[in-house]
A and B are shown apart, each in its own frame.
Chain A
Amino acid sequence: MNLLKGRSARAAAGFAAAAVVLFAVAPLMLSDFRLGLLAKYLCTAMVAVGICLAWGRGGLLTLGQGVFFGLGGYAMAMHLKIADAGPGNLPDFMQLYGTATELPWWWQPFANPLFAIAATVLLPMTVAALLGLFIFRRRVKGAYFAILSQALAAAFAIWLIGQQATTGGTNGLTDIQGFFGYSLDDPVNQRMVYFVIAAVLLLLIALARQLIQSRYGELLVAVRDSEERVRFLGYDPANVKLVAYVVAAGMAGLAGALFVPAVGIISPALIGIVPSIEFVIGAAVGGRASLAGAVLGAVAVAWAKTTLSEEFPAAWTYFQGLLFIVALAFLPGGLASLAVYVRRRGAPKAPEQKAPVVPVGEAA
């Protein structure tokens, strides 16, 4: 019980520190441009929270989070494009590439802001639920699940590219001007978007922590570590995994929806195979089984990508690759496992604590 108190006190302190950094330090220290970039990184971190839950805790190697990120992003961007065009007008790209004179039927509900906002979370969750039912009931797992997720991301991106007249094709939905009536040109509003993103991220972290600490969280880890035993105990592992998968999808959808006003664009390039892998890599580098690790890892990897590419525009991809190799080869539990290691060294007499780390071989 002592151990537990210590842990939740530490978590609360970490949470408070994160809030201070996000709401006070960052806005004071960073220029508008850098704060905008931070908003983008925080969206990746939201996806990482879901990945921590589904992969770190549930052992589901979700290599297709781009799909859910994209569903959320497109749902939001469709509404904003309709709002930008004004009542009765078509979004600019439809006038350019399309032949239709009115909005396609599947665009029309997105004119309603409430529908669009609900869709950013519910649409990815529904897709994940349907898919998850099918996949987990049939006991598809491990590498097959990962490959299936990847294929889905590729298929979704290719479909979007093919539908240029109604989805903007490769360009995606660009040039988003307003956010529920507020001009995104205005730095004050951009700052506001950042605050919303930071608040949502903290909420998602709190939600994920509650889930992880709950009985369900225990069950999820049990399913990850020994699915058959959980089944013999009378639980249905399919349902346990489904919940984690659906929650992770909802988080990715929300991240996509908030990414749109922060960056002003959503395109197939952000949701295909490569970005889906990048989401996972951020969490892996930080430590997928630890919430703090996954979140900080996602932010750090995204930040490193920007910084390295600015400093070494011709060679940064090599540095990025090296970073991943070093992190994954020498710290399979991510940077979070480093913290545990240091803590152990510092207090050799303390009772052996089980590190929240998954052995490498078990991941997929």
Chain B
Amino acid sequence: MSSVPSIHRRRLLAGTAALAAVVALSACGAKTDAAGSSDKAAKIDSSGDTVKVGLLNSLSGTMAISEVTVRNSLQLAIAEINAKGGVLGKKIKPISEDGASDWPTFAEKATKLIKEDGVAATFGCWTSASRKAVKPVFEKNKSLLFYPVQYEGLEESPYIFYTGATTNQQIIPALDYLKSQGKKKLYLVGSDYVFPRTANKEIKAYAKANGMTILGEDYAPLGSTEFSTIANKVKASKADAVFNTLNGDSNVAFFKEYKSAGLSAATMPVVSVSIAEEEVKSIGTQYLEGQLTAWNYYQTTPGAANTTFVKAYKAKYGADKPTSDPMEAAYTSVYLWKAMVEKAKSFDPEKVKAASDGITFDAPEGLVTVDGASQHIYKTARIGKVGSDGLIEQVWDSGKPIKPDPFLKGYPWAAGLS
């Protein structure tokens, strides 16, 4: 076996040379600096009496528990719209794809929805990392994404509509609330990824400008359940309050350790920005009662639109299923897209974008308005307290919808952030 027949070696070389020739002969495409090289809009398939939209959420992996609820409310909105005749006379046909809690998979599935299915718009994504992964896909193909989750701001994409809160509609109001309650010393705990790290950067800048002190800053890997060290450090710091940007199942472990360390909402409240009704249920009310959350919507938010939404959701998915902020933002995003399409009288993303400014919708969270310039929406900030029944009761709100300011241009202390 030691000597390879020479004829084989020669053939191999010839084959290799032939391959190299094929590659060399292939034509080359546009250079990066060539103008108009990316001027190719995706083709939208609205033939027949349906128009396709993409639903891109994680149905498997660590994010599935949260993202499936978003998927459910997207489907609820689509079913409602179809029952009333659809959009521009066409029924909406949702195409489901699984992002699998894996960012490159999100990019692959987004490409598939746009190029293979010809969707008119896509709804979904949860984590900032997944949004960052799909952003170039939507921009290259000039197709629209509606992103329904609160995020860290500092972003504007011409092909993304952000229907969740940006920082000045959630985190800054939460800090304002803590300041008004006399909480001057904060401890920051978060998952180790983009949203918590960026949010904490903004929180530190706010604290510096507002005479608050940050006593510590700790990150745990996504999905981590080891929190005894962090809970003890928090306890030793004697902070006035904890600002929690942990995501997913880590919260369960964190709040258990928090309680066993002898800390409570009365002695050291925790403000969480990623814990909604669904998560309260899985963490356990006994660990969370009295703790604070910051969102734009709670299941308990008053108003006829919310009563209808909660009732319809429970009728479709079960009486024990709560509704939450990202679900509401997802539900709202479908209706906003519908209103934009009807105003534009077209599914063409460019025309839909042009028609977006000033579109309003009487959403479960109250009246929301699209800000065409930033493609974010005006939202009311709400601080809530977890009750013994697992629902969240509002303790404070901003009174009126806050204008989105993703780059925090209206805040002098944020000047160095972006």
Chain A residues near B (Cβ < 8 Å): 4-5, 8-9, 11-12, 15-16, 19, 23, 31-33, 36-37, 40, 84, 95-97, 158, 161-162, 164, 169-172, 174-178, 181-183, 185-189, 191-192, 195-196, 199, 202-203, 206, 210, 213-215, 218, 263-265, 267, 269-270, 306, 309-310, 313-314, 316-317
Contacts and interface: CB of A to CB of B under 8 A. Distances in A.
B84 interface: no
Contacts of A4: 1, 5
Nearest to A158: B221
**Chain A CB within 10 A, most for which of B28, B97, B193, B194:** B194
A316 B60 contact: yes
A171 B34 contact: no
Contacts of B154: 96
A19 B19 contact: yes
B418 A183 contact: no
A178 B132 contact: no
A182 B2 contact: no
B253 interface: no
A31 B219 CA distance: 43
Interface of B: 1-2, 4-5, 8, 11-12, 15-16, 18-20, 22-23, 26-34, 37-38, 40, 59-60, 96-98, 100, 102-105, 107-109, 111-112, 115-116, 127-129, 132-133, 135-136, 140, 154, 192-194, 197-198, 201, 219, 221-222, 418
A15 B5 CA distance: 16
B96 A170 contact: no
A215 B37 CA distance: 51
A203 B18 CA distance: 12
Nearest to A187: B29
B33 to A, nearest CB: 8
Contacts of A177: 32, 136
Contact of B34 (A12, A183, A218): A183
Contact of A192 (B29, B102, B133, B221): B29
A175 B136 contact: yes
B129 A8 contact: no
A171 B1 contact: no
A23 B22 contact: yes
Given A264-B136, A313-B59, A170 B129 contact: yes
A265 B107 contact: yes
A95 B407 CA distance: 13
Contacts of A195: 22-23, 26
A12 B19 contact: no
A36 B103 CA distance: 17
A188 B28 contact: yes
B115 A32 contact: yes
A195 B1 CA distance: 33
Contacts of B1: 4, 213, 218
A162 B2 contact: no
B193 A169 contact: yes
Contact of B107 (A16, A23, A158, A264): A264
23 contacts: A5-B5, A8-B8, A19-B19, A23-B19, A33-B111, A33-B116, A95-B418, A97-B201, A169-B197, A171-B103, A178-B32, A182-B29, A183-B31, A183-B37, A185-B37, A189-B30, A202-B15, A206-B12, A264-B107, A264-B136, A310-B97, A314-B60, A316-B60
Given A189-B30, A265-B104, A97 B19 contact: no
A185 B137 CA distance: 10
B370 to A, nearest CB: 24
Contacts of B5: 4-5, 8
Nearest to B34: A183
B22 A306 contact: no
Nearest to A84: B32
A170 B418 contact: no
Contacts of A313: 59, 96-98
Contacts of B98: 309, 313-314, 316
B408 to A, nearest CB: 13
B100 A309 contact: yes
A181 B22 CA distance: 21
B136 A15 contact: no
Given A96-B154, A170-B192, A306-B108, A199 B19 contact: yes
Given A170-B192, A171-B129, A210 B4 contact: yes
B135 A174 contact: yes
**Chain B CB within 10 A, most for which of A182, A203, A214:** A182
Given A161-B192, A186-B29, A314-B59, A269 B103 contact: yes
B26 A192 contact: yes
A196 B107 CA distance: 22
B116 A31 contact: yes
A36 B59 CA distance: 24
A316 B104 CA distance: 17
A96 B104 contact: no
A32 B1 CA distance: 43
Given A174-B136, A310-B97, A33 B115 contact: yes
B197 A267 contact: no
Contact of B194 (A16, A171, A183, A188): A171
A213 B59 contact: no
Contact of A164 (B135, B194, B418): B194
Contact of A162 (B8, B59, B116, B192): B192
Nearest to B416: A99
Contacts of A189: 28-30
